C-alpha cells in the first residue's frame, strides 16, 4: 500500500510542478494563483500544500530542478572533454559553458521565466547566491586564478545565458552564443 501511495504522491507532485511551469511561463509568477495550478494539475489545494509550502515553493522547486539539470549537463560535458584528454582549463570551461547554453536552448521558456524578474519576493537573492556558487565552481577549473578571470568568463557567460533565454530569434542567438564561446575561449590569464 505504501508503494502505491508513494507513486500517487509522486505523480501528484509532478502534475503540480508541470502545471506550475506551464502557467508561470504563460502568465508569470505574479499573475498565477494557487487555484490556477491545482485546477490545471487536476489536484486539490490540500495536495499542493502537502507537497509544497505555496506558490513560491513551486517556483523555487522548478528553479532548483532546472539548475540541477544544468549542473548535470555541464559536469557531463567537462568529464567528456577530460576523458578525451583535454586539460586546458579554458577549454574545459567552454565545454561546460556550451552544455549550459544548450540546456538553456532546450528549456528556453523555463530559463526565461527565471530571468524575467517576475519571481517570488527574494528570488533575486537566490539568483545572486546561485551566481556566486557558479563562480566558485568555475574557479575550481582555474586553480590559481585570483578572481579576475573567473569574474570575466562567468559574467560573459551569464550575459550569453540571458540572451539565449530572452531573445526571440533563436538562430541568431545560437550564432551569438557560439561567438561568445569563441571569444571566451581566447581569453588568457592576466
Give the tens place of pLDDT for each residue, 135-149.
Answer: 888 888 887 666 888
Alpha-carbon distance of 175 to 30, in angstroms, equals 33
Is residue 5 predicted with pLDDT exceeding 70? no
Rounded to 5°, the CA angle 133-89-96 comes to 55
Give the tens place of pLDDT for each residue, 90-115.
Answer: 999 999 999 999 999 999 999 999 99
Classify the C-alpha dihedral 34-39-40-45 as positive or negative: positive
**5-9, 15-19, 133-137: segment of lowest average pLDDT:** 5-9
Give the tens place of pLDDT for each residue, 168-181.
Answer: 898 999 999 999 99
Q: Which residue has the cell 571566451?
A: 184
Give the tens place of pLDDT for each residue, 32-61.
Answer: 999 999 999 999 999 999 999 999 999 999
Question: Mean pLDDT of all residues in the chain?
Answer: 91
Amino acid at each position: 500500500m505504501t508503494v502505491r501511495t508513494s507513486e500517487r504522491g509522486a505523480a501528484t507532485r509532478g502534475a503540480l510542478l508541470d502545471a506550475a511551469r506551464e502557467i508561470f511561463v504563460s502568465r508569470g509568477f505574479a499573475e498565477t494563483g494557487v487555484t490556477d495550478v491545482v485546477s490545471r494539475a487536476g489536484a486539490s489545494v490540500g495536495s499542493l500544500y502537502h507537497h509544497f509550502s505555496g506558490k513560491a515553493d513551486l517556483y523555487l522547486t522548478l528553479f532548483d530542478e532546472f539548475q540541477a539539470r544544468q549542473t548535470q549537463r555541464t559536469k557531463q560535458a567537462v568529464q567528456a572533454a577530460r576523458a578525451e584528454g583535454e586539460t586546458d582549463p579554458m577549454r574545459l570551461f567552454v565545454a561546460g559553458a556550451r552544455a549550459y547554453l544548450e540546456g538553456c536552448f532546450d528549456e528556453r521558456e523555463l530559463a526565461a521565466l527565471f530571468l524575467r524578474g517576475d519571481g517570488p519576493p527574494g528570488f533575486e537573492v537566490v539568483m545572486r547566491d546561485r551566481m556566486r556558487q557558479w563562480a566558485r565552481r568555475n574557479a575550481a577549473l582555474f586553480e590559481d586564478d585570483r578572481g579576475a578571470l573567473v569574474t570575466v568568463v562567468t559574467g560573459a557567460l551569464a550575459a550569453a545565458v540571458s540572451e539565449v533565454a530572452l531573445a526571440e530569434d533563436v538562430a541568431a542567438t545560437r550564432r551569438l552564443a557560439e561567438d561568445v564561446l569563441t571569444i571566451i575561449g581566447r581569453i588568457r590569464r592576466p
